[in-house]
Amino acid sequence: MSPPILSVENLVVAYGRVEAVRGVSFHADAGSLVTLVGANGAGKTSILNAIAGLVRPRSGHVRYAGKDVTRRAAHRLVSDGLVQVPEGRLILGTLTVEENLQLGGWQRRSTQAASIEEMYQRFPLLAERRALVAGALSGGEQQMLAIARALVALPTVLLMDEPSMGLAPKVVDEVFRVIAQIRASGTTVVLVEQNARRALRAADYGYVLETGQVAHEGPASELLTDPRVVEAYLGLE
Amino acid sequence: MQQLLNGIFLGSIYALFAIGFTLVFGVLDRLNLAHSAVFSTSAFVGIELVARAGLSIWVTLPIIFVFGGVLGLVIERVAFRPLKGRHDAHFAGLISSIALGAMFLALLQAGFGPDTRRFPPDAFPQQRLEFAGAVVSVLQLVIVVVAFALMVGLTLMVSRSRLGRGMRAVAENPHAALVLGIDVDRITALTFALSSALGGVAGVLFALNVNSAQISMGSSIELKGLAVIIVGGLGSLPGAMLGGLLVGLAEVFAVTYVGSSWRDVIAFGLLFSILLLRPQGIFGARQVREI
Amino acid sequence: MSGFLDSYASTITFMALTGVFAYSFYAVLMAGQLSLAQAGLASAAAFTSSLVVPAEPLFGVIPRLVVGIAVGMTVGAALAFLLGLPVMRLRGVFLAIATLAFGEVVRILLINQSWTGGAEGLSFPKLVGIPQAWLALAVVAYWFWRLGGSRLGRALAAIREDELAAKAMGIDVTRHRMMSFVTSGAVAGLYGVLLAHFVRFADPNAFGFSTAVEGLVTAVVGGTALFIGPLLGSVFLTALPELQRAIGVEAGWIRPFVSGLMLLLVILFLPGGLAALIPHRPGRVGHPDALPDLPPLPAAGTPIASLRAIRKDYGGVHAVHDVDLDIAASEIVGLIGPNGAGKTTLINIVSGLVPPTSGEGTVVGIPVGSGVPAHRIALAGVSRTFQQIKLFDRLSALDNVLVGAHRVSRPTLLRRLILLPSARRDERLALAQAFAQLTRVGLADRARQAAGDLPYGDQRRLEIARALAAHPTLLILDEPAAGMNHVEAHRLSVLIRGLADDGVTILLIEHNVRMVLETCTRVVVLDFGEVIAAGDPATVARDPRVVEAYLGAEDDGAESA
């Protein structure tokens, strides 16, 4: 059994003033879809930010493709294939769709053009709007753009932070369809979601986080029917 | 007509100086008050290169471009980088850049003494041309052409090139840029370098225009530069260009019709009115920042 | 000795004068404003005084200099007021540039007047020497010393640290900023008159951009957090070139170089200036006794807030959509819901920070959306904490809570200036109130520590203590348990329930649903800006719509991996 492509050990993150993550460990096997679920404030975003090099953890380790990347700069991680689709999408609204995609390829100059073409084929909606300023897109379209942008970076591991947030249910369907396709193509996906049921249905393995720690973990299908998951969100005994 | 042309010449130098200012503010949200020191220093060094080393103006300008760029890197590294993440970063950046600028000027005085420097008389062509009833010197034409070429070049670079995209990304949202894998520190340094390179060339052009350079030349243009970028809109490149021309023209006309002692009021009068009526400036789209 | 004084008379006088000038910057910097108009104001004051200073003492008794100073300070203050009116809404860089431009405009206007002598300048009688300069400095320093410990001084420091939080404590930010502006103008005017009558000469060009920058440098190097800062700055920066001269360094460029270097080093490594080097005295530790007389809180069940059909739209997004909310005294109402459900927007509407797009209601008697500014609503009895903790980091825990007591304490500056004992007594009452709140949340032993240095859990509790110091009718807590573990959250829950027992009404946003169930008497659930459930906590938590809002629907589409 090959070692997991991404593993996090005893991660502690004090993000600003909040001690958001208090010793979290998890891992993702290559090609799998792992999900971190939990209520807001449970520390999920801080974990992804720490993995992506956007926040320096107070202690703990992140290992990617066999190397310790805990202190690696964010831009180096992207060029290594660890790419994030951030919470709130962080689309550059004053730039066009095409420019956003080009920026996705910042670390992949040689393959950029080909990847962008591929994205246009996969997301015809974006192709139609390629010259439009990204701020004019709807929420769902922006989420697609954010995902496409990340894919242009040719990720080996894709970190997705709350892709369904603020989107109407039908759009959420679309998003999860795309996530399934990404996973099918061999990319490892670490998915953080507040919508636990959706996420667990899509995932292979799940971790339930509560106030900065892993409360439960297990194969996603088991967690779906585990009453303790509901309890973790709503505090019922 | 003569005045119109004079205004354009003066205005294009103001614009070139201001565009450096607004570039740093637009991308990095920082006001670099050492910019005027780069202006002055480059003027002196430019004169040295022509007078002592006997270089032609065409060789000097690119050298100054690089020299200014290096100064920009120093400014970023010394006055701004250490303040990253501090909650009073904006205020502290103003102060640290003032300080560094003062140090540059002091060194300038050490190296060149307090006197005015001039270009040697035969440093460049003296011909004059007739144009629509006004007299224009080749020198002034050169100034306008160089200034415009640089500004147009910058604008094209920012809107078309990969580096320009990166800068615009950082300008809109540095965190998003980080997520995309952009090396924000490097973009920051390059932005400063570019800004100061332009400021340096502006300094040499200014010295050419009035054929003199003094240590204090920076302070009056600094204030005008601030006026220009606020009038044009902080962070807007076309705003800086238009604003510079406006201020240049207004000044020249004011001197002709009202008297030279009121010259500087124009820039500030414009500045004040814009701040009160339309704080984002002519082209500005950003919100008035709360620091 | 007199020989020494004579040869250094000029330097010693300049030390005092630059100190006065630096105080004019201090006056605005203490409120967090960077204003650079002081040079122009000083100039205007100096020249105006030349028109007014009589040849003989006024009425045979009032010294000529005093007349000049009185006029100069009035001119400075008046011009500052005029300048302040339009620029009050500007901040940071914009304010700095606008004020700088103003200063320049004054300079140019004055240069073009004949009565100022134009660029040639004007000569002035010598009326100022060491005693006058140092007396003036002492008076100014005294003023700022007494300001420091007064309610006004604390309010200005609060505005400097966090304007929004200050507003939420009932401080009228605009009025306070204007006050500091006008003070700065008066002190700048004083400087202008003194300088002109010492150097015996003045021309408008001497009060330009570089003068303004020098004044700023002095204030910053000295330090802007303690009243002694400008004095330290001026002594240091005036003595420095003298020292250089004494050790034989003559070159003209070295002085500005060193001064620039000093400034750079200070701002990079010692942001608090020289004043920060002074060890912080622990201060009076006596635990005061009598509490101020506070009105009783409303009886349980009295309606406190009542909102109907509240809507808030941002562009096309309905942040809050048709929300009804009622809060009665002594209730603990919990507001829960997934991310982006509109909870913070709703409490911003209740606390007056944000007006609703439509809807009506009252909060502590004030109609919602009537344009009443947030600080007035705070003064009416609504206090709050913030999601990201907005403490005044550089102030001590006690000072933070003292600012919170703004509403229930009396202004003391004027009485402090003449050392009136009633001022002391009022300060003691405010202190008692503050200590009582610190004790209530369990932080009495951390009173003197800087708020920014406290551990996270203590900071949350401190923010609550600060909000309590205003003796609020309605206390709004925005995610007070964020980042806390079960034990800490439980202790917080106990504290909150204790407050309700004391009669405080509480509106609480939380993500920690377990804690909400433990603490609240009633729960309201928001999703996509609408109320989807409300009522008794245990029932609401089991409501399938609530579960679905948080976890997603049971049969959410047929799509799966």
C128 in a domain, yes or no? yes
Residue C421 shares a structural domain with residue C506: no
Whether chain B has a CB inside 8 Å of the CB on A148: the answer is no
Q: Band the pLDDT of C373: cuts 50, 70, 90.
A: confident
Query: What letters, b where the CB count within 10 A reaches 16 and e where it falls short, cover A22-38?
Result: bebebbbbeebbbbbbb
Name residue B21's amino acid.
Answer: F
Instruction: Choose the mutation target among B27, B160, B168, B178 for the interface with A, i.e. most A CBs under 10 Å.
Output: B178
Cβ atoms within 10 A of the Cβ of C322, count?
14
Number of inter-chain CB pairs under 8 A, A vs B: 59
Distances from the Cα of C136 to the Cα of C76, C77, C223, angstroms: 16, 17, 20
- Considering only CB atoms, which residues of chain C are within 8 Å of chain B? 34, 86-87, 90-94, 96-98, 100-102, 104-105, 108-109, 111-112, 163, 208-210, 213, 216-217, 220, 251-257, 259-261, 263-264, 267-268, 271
Phi, psi at C113, each rounded to 5°: -95, 145
Chain C residues within 8 A of A202 when measuring between CB atoms? 560-561
Number of domains forming the structure of chain C: 3
Q: Band the pLDDT of C353: cuts 50, 70, 90.
A: confident
| Strands ordered across the beta sheet of A82-85 | A82-85, A157-161, A188-193, A33-38, A205-210, A213-219
Residue C273: domain span: 9-277
Query: Each residue of B157-214: pLDDT tens digit?
Result: 998 999 999 999 998 999 999 999 999 999 999 999 999 999 999 999 888 888 888 8
Lowest mean pLDDT among C49-63, C125-139, C175-189: C49-63
CA-nearest of C344, C368, C374 to C356 is C368
CA-nearest of B6, B282, B14, B40 to B148 is B14
Residue C91 shares a structural domain with residue C230: yes
- Looking at domain A6-88+149-234, its CATH class is alpha beta
Inter-chain residue contact C92 with B290, CB threshold 8 Å: yes
Q: Please compute the mean of the pLDDT values over residues B264-276 and round it to a whole number.
A: 78
The answer to whether A145 touches A92, Cβ cutoff 8 Å, is: no
Tell whether the model's pLDDT for residue B143 goes beyond 50. Answer: yes
Instruction: Choose the mutation target among A17, A77, A90 for the interface with B, i.e. most B CBs under 10 Å.
Output: A90
Inter-chain residue contact A236 with C542, CB threshold 8 Å: yes
Residue C548 shares a structural domain with residue C449: no
To the nearest whole Å, the CA of C466 is away from the closest chain A CA by 18
Q: List all residues 6 or more positions away from B65 whose beta carbon is below 8 Å from its beta carbon.
A: B197, B198, B200, B201
Whether chain B has a CB inside 8 Å of the CB on A183: the answer is no
Task: List the end-to-end C-alpha distance of chain C, in Å, as a whole number.
Answer: 93
The answer to whether C516 touches C506, Cβ cutoff 8 Å, is: no
Q: How far apart are CA C385 and CA C398, in angstroms?
A: 16
Residue C420 shares a structural domain with residue C547: no
**Nearest residue of C to residue B261, measured between CA atoms:** C112
Residue C130 shares a structural domain with residue C49: yes
Inter-chain residue contact C90 with B114, CB threshold 8 Å: no
Chain C residues within 8 A of A18 when measuring between CB atoms? 456, 482-483
Estimate the share of chain C in helix, then strand, then coil, as percent rounded to the nearest 5.
Answer: 55, 10, 30
Please tell me whether the overall predicted TM-score, pTM, comes out greater than 0.90 for this model. Answer: no
Q: List all residues 6 or more positions away from C3 whose beta carbon is below 8 Å from its beta carbon.
A: none
To the nearest whole Å, the CA of A90 is away from the closest chain B CA by 6
Cβ atoms within 10 A of the Cβ of C86, count?
14
Q: Please compute the mean of the pLDDT values over residues B9-18 and round it to a whole number.
A: 89
Tell whether the model's pLDDT for residue C89 goes beyond 90. Answer: no
Query: Each residue of C256-282: pLDDT tens digit?
Result: 788 788 889 988 998 888 888 887 665
Q: What pLDDT is attached to residue B285?
A: 63
DSSP character at residue B213: B
Distances from the Cα of C347 to the Cα of A40, C323, C361, C519, angstroms: 18, 12, 13, 19
* Secondary structure (DSSP) of A78-109: HHHTEEEE-TT----TTSBHHHHHHHHTTT-T
Q: Is B224 left (phi over 0), alpha (psi -120 to 50) or beta?
A: alpha
Q: What pLDDT is attached to residue C103?
A: 86
Q: What pLDDT is attached to residue C251?
A: 65
Instruction: Choose the mutation target among A48, A75, A110 for the interface with B, i.e. most B CBs under 10 Å.
Output: A75
Tell me which of C422, C451, C469 is where a domain ends.
C469
CA-nearest of C479, C505, C475, C509 to C168 is C475
Whether chain B has a CB inside 8 Å of the CB on A74: the answer is yes
Residue C438 shares a structural domain with residue C513: no
Whole-number mean pLDDT of chain B?
85
Inter-chain residue contact B181 with A92, CB threshold 8 Å: no
Give A61-64 contacts, CB < 8 A, sequence gap 24+: A61/A8, A61/A9, A61/A10, A61/A11, A62/A6, A62/A7, A62/A8, A62/A9, A62/A11, A63/A6, A63/A7, A63/A8, A63/A9, A64/A5, A64/A6, A64/A157
Inter-chain residue contact C550 with A211, CB threshold 8 Å: no
Instruction: Choose the mutation target among A15, A78, A109, A142 for the interface with B, i.e. most B CBs under 10 Å.
Output: A78
Tell whether the model's pLDDT for residue C558 goes beyond 70. Answer: no
Distances from the Cα of C203 to the Cα of A82, B190, B269, C518, angstroms: 65, 43, 22, 72
- Per residue, what are the HEC states of C470-499? CCCCEEEEECCCCCCCHHHHHHHHHHHHHH
Residue C359 shares a structural domain with residue C264: no
Cβ atoms within 10 A of the Cβ of B151, count?
21
Number of inter-chain CB pairs under 8 A, B vs C: 128
Sign (positive or negative) of CA dihedral C41, C43, C44, C46: positive
Residue C447 shares a structural domain with residue C407: yes
What residue ranges do the domains of chain A occupy?
6-88+149-234
**Nearest residue of B to residue A107, measured between CA atoms:** B181
C294 in a domain, yes or no? no
Tell whether the model's pLDDT for residue A193 goes beyond 50. Answer: yes
Q: What pLDDT is attached to residue C6?
A: 65
Estimate the share of chain A in helix, then strand, then coil, as percent rounded to the nearest 5.
Answer: 40, 25, 35
Chain B residues within 8 A of C96 when measuring between CB atoms? 94
Q: Please compute the mean of the pLDDT values over residues A160-175 and round it to a whole number.
A: 86
Inter-chain residue contact C388 with A233, CB threshold 8 Å: no
Q: What pLDDT is attached to residue B134?
A: 75
Phi, psi at C387, each rounded to 5°: -60, -45
Query: Each residue of C340-352: pLDDT tens digit?
Result: 778 888 999 998 8
For C199, the token pair is 């150097």
For B57, the token pair is 């103006």
Tell whether the model's pLDDT for residue C560 goes beyond 80. Answer: no
* Percentage with pLDDT > 70 across chain B: 94
| ipTM of the complex in this document | 0.89
Q: Among all chains, which residue has been given the structure tokens 């809404």?
A: C89
Counted residue by residue, chain C has a size of 561
3-state secondary structure of A9: strand
Q: How far apart are CA C142 and CA C134, in angstroms?
A: 12
Chain B residues within 8 A of A149 when measuring between CB atoms? 180
Question: Nearest by CB to A230, which of C511, C512, C551?
Answer: C551
Q: How far apart are CA C217 and CA C274, in angstroms?
A: 12
Name residue C386's amino acid.
Answer: F
Question: Nearest by CB to C98, which of B114, B269, B272?
Answer: B272
Q: Please compute the mean of the pLDDT values over residues B258-271 and round it to a whole number.
A: 75
To the nearest whole Å, the CA of B249 is away from the closest chain A CA by 32
Q: Where are the alpha helices (DSSP H) in C510-560?
A: 513-519, 537-542, 544-551
Tell whether the model's pLDDT for residue C285 goes beyond 70. Answer: no
Query: Each residue of C290-303: pLDDT tens digit?
Result: 787 888 888 888 88
Whether chain C has a CB inside 8 Å of the CB on A186: the answer is no
Cβ atoms within 10 A of the Cβ of A123, count?
20
Question: Nearest by CB to B268, which of C105, C213, C260?
Answer: C105
Inter-chain residue contact C516 with A235, CB threshold 8 Å: yes
Question: Nearest by CB to C338, which of A16, A172, A194?
Answer: A194
Q: List all residues 6 or more positions away from A204 whose beta carbon is below 8 Å from its beta carbon.
A: A32, A33, A34, A219, A220, C561
Query: What letters, b where the CB count within 10 A reaches 16 and e where it falls short, cover A150-177?
Result: bbbbbbbbbbbbbbbbbbeeebbbbbbe
Query: What letters, b where the CB count within 10 A reaches 16 and e where it falls short, cover C451-480?
Result: beebebbbbbbbbbbbbbbbbbbbbbbbbb
Q: What pLDDT is attached to residue A170?
A: 82
- Name subunits touching C (3+ CB pairs < 8 A): A, B
* Secondary structure (DSSP) of B176-202: HHHHTT--HHHHHHHHHHHHHHHHHHH
Q: Among all chains, which residue has been given the structure tokens 């205020």?
A: B91
Sign (positive or negative) of CA dihedral B159, B164, B168, B171: negative
What residue ranges do the domains of chain B occupy?
11-112+129-216
Residue C240 shares a structural domain with residue C111: yes
Q: What pLDDT is attached to residue B290?
A: 31
Inter-chain residue contact C34 with B91, CB threshold 8 Å: yes
